[in-house]
Structure 1
């Protein structure tokens, strides 16, 4: 699906006067100009036809939904050990730290409620304390998710070029991006939360408009505010399409969570809420189920989001030629790179 800002495909048979090679560059600032006639062997005269080229997990053309989901699954398959393994480790650590904080409160609440001797005020106080501790545990989980977001985004950036990346190399790329990534995640979260307080719809709108800020920050190595502006520019004129994709991702991740956690909930006596369990074994079982579910759902959601970002740049900035050049499929003199450059 295209929109009003999508770049038109030049006619390869169109006659151009001398000096007109950069006409499309002047009409679309920041976009790679047309290559000269003599340096376009991939598609004849004019703009190379890259639609049939696929150096990595996606073809070099505007992506359909099947391309995006297929590219995400291909990326996860080729980097399964690193992405799922890293997610399992960091999410597991986050859950262990959270559980260490929540455990005493859960035990106290369960014991007090079980005796039937606590007053309503005491139970309300325990519940408020439990909510506060759960807020801290949620912070640990957000940090874990932040790491997975950065790591998976870097992997996708390499995978579209047909390259594999090891953990050490990905970590070297990610490490200087962690603090800015934390900043963009915090600001986007605050904006979305504030919008959600205004009858929910503004929060949903803001969540979609800023959905591509994280991949823009990681892959373009930009600042926090610039990444948010980039997301705004890339999303705004294709809001409904991206909303549909993101809504589908939410549905898929919910299904993943249900499928993975359900067996553990059954083993724990039918409960998937640690605060309502009555034995330590139930708490442990439900926690393991949550870690496994998050280890699968987080990488999937991030890879799809990164591919949506790449699709938007292909549609609006002519990124396909730049990716082809980076993958060695286009001649180096096929026009200078657009701005911002590919990773």
Structure 2
């Protein structure tokens, strides 16, 4: 097994084997033969191994009992280093079986995950592997915002010229055209930056699941072969959304029918959300399974099937959390920009003061900080959702356990 998971469809689980230090059907040593003249021993004794004195612990451990197969559990009472926390005996009291803890070599336990475990796993990766996560997001966010500030500087200058009452129709048209072009450039840079971050962070999170450290160079080396395909996947999703909107909304716009345009939008939005969730796992499938774009779409559709609402809820909650975190970080910088560099509310109402470098740089600093925190959180939740779905449907926990070096994980004693 490689030091990092191949994330291909796992094969059959390893056959059940013997637990180290345990032999199937081994008989327990018989108790010592009592002296013939000892009055405390009766002439007839129960069969060995079937009794113990009340209130005392028998000198020899009882014979190992077969454990019900859990798929990702281990026999109770036989913890192994690196798989379980401190536990011994029989959980739940004498004669009772308790659910053993799942192995946790990295940031998540190797079993189906709950909402809290997915969110906690994303945060734990950011905290534990910050040396790899922080430089990736910080550098990309800084590059994106620097380019955006430069583009917006000229874009806002054009807007100020367009609002000049002495400007003619041709000048206004040219100004608005350059504004849309500049906005498109900013969005394109933002998308490309997000793609790079997503690709590299996916590799960091895949190693964090196994408890393995990552570096920026490792993440780049593993993500680079799939970057062009990830760009194609992202652009294909964006193109599909635009074409779908054009088919549903454009007829109303061309016929100048507001009702038809609104109806088209009302149909387009839920379809867009449905398709977005259906293909939300395509990116990690593409990166971790080294597949093609079309196969990644098919894999995401298969993994999301019958769990659309659950994934929608987790994704929506993640988006809301990210929105509030970004808002709390960016808001103070926007206030500083407004009153320190833009001349206050009156200047903003007049449309002046927003073209200064200070008014553009202050919010950009806030956005850099916000994106450095939010991007890995959202990427981490998506990757862990992918892992969770594969554990639930394909037994990926066994594959991950073997990749983490837990050779006997999921086997039972004979």
Q: Give TM-score scaled by structure 1 length.
A: 0.80
Secondary structure of 2:268's match?
coil
Give the conservation status (yes or no) of the 8 Å contact 2:202–2:379.
Answer: yes
Aligned 1:1-343 pairs, distance under 5 A: 32-38=11-17, 44=67, 46=69, 47-49=71-73, 51-111=101-161, 113=163, 116-119=165-168, 122-195=171-244, 198-269=267-338, 277-331=354-408
Secondary structure of 2:307's match?
helix
Deviating more after overlay: 101-110 vs 212-221: 101-110
Deviating more after overlay: 91-100 vs 55-64: 91-100
Q: How many pairs are equivalent?
A: 303
Give the conservation status (yes or no) of the 8 Å contact 2:135–2:216.
Answer: no
Distance (whole Å) between structure 2 residues aligned to residue 217 and residue 227 of structure 1: 5
The change in CA–CA distance for 1:305 and 1:116 in structure 2 (over 3 A counts) is: same
Distance (whole Å) between structure 1 residues aligned to residue 72 and residue 19 of structure 2: 6
Distance (whole Å) between structure 1 residues aligned to residue 239 and residue 17 of structure 2: 51
Distance (whole Å) between structure 2 residues aligned to residue 116 and residue 39 of structure 1: 87
Give the conservation status (yes or no) of the 8 Å contact 2:106–2:211.
Answer: yes
Distance (whole Å) between structure 2 residues aligned to residue 144 and residue 45 of structure 1: 49
The change in CA–CA distance for 1:93 and 1:216 in structure 2 (over 3 A counts) is: same
Please state how far the C-alpha of 1:89 moved relative to its aligned partner. 1.1
Distance (whole Å) between structure 2 residues aligned to residue 39 and residue 228 of structure 1: 41
Secondary structure of 2:306's match?
helix
Please state how far the C-alpha of 1:298 moved relative to its aligned partner. 1.1
The change in CA–CA distance for 1:40 and 1:132 in structure 2 (over 3 A counts) is: farther
Distance (whole Å) between structure 2 residues aligned to residue 33 and residue 63 of structure 1: 22
The change in CA–CA distance for 1:40 and 1:135 in structure 2 (over 3 A counts) is: farther
The change in CA–CA distance for 1:48 and 1:264 in structure 2 (over 3 A counts) is: closer
The change in CA–CA distance for 1:125 and 1:151 in structure 2 (over 3 A counts) is: same
1:169-196 Cα deviation digits (max 9, x unpaired): 1111011111111111111222344445
For the pair shown, which has the larger CA radius of gyration, 1 or 2?
A: 2
Computed over aligned residues only, the root mean square deviation of the Cα atoms, in angstroms, reads 2.7
Task: Give unmatched runs, 5+ long, in structure 1.
Answer: 1-29, 335-343
Distance (whole Å) between structure 2 residues aligned to residue 39 and residue 148 of structure 1: 44
Give the conservation status (yes or no) of the 8 Å contact 2:153–2:355.
Answer: no
Q: Give TM-score scaled by structure 2 length.
A: 0.67
The change in CA–CA distance for 1:109 and 1:48 in structure 2 (over 3 A counts) is: closer
The change in CA–CA distance for 1:121 and 1:250 in structure 2 (over 3 A counts) is: farther
The change in CA–CA distance for 1:320 and 1:136 in structure 2 (over 3 A counts) is: same
Please state how far the C-alpha of 1:33 moved relative to its aligned partner. 3.0
Task: Give unmatched runs, 5+ long, in structure 2.
Answer: 1-8, 23-65, 75-100, 249-266, 343-347
Distance (whole Å) between structure 1 residues aligned to residue 410 and residue 337 of structure 2: 63
Secondary structure of 1:189's match?
helix
Deviating more after overlay: 243-252 vs 86-95: 86-95
Distance (whole Å) between structure 2 residues aligned to residue 179 and residue 127 of structure 1: 32
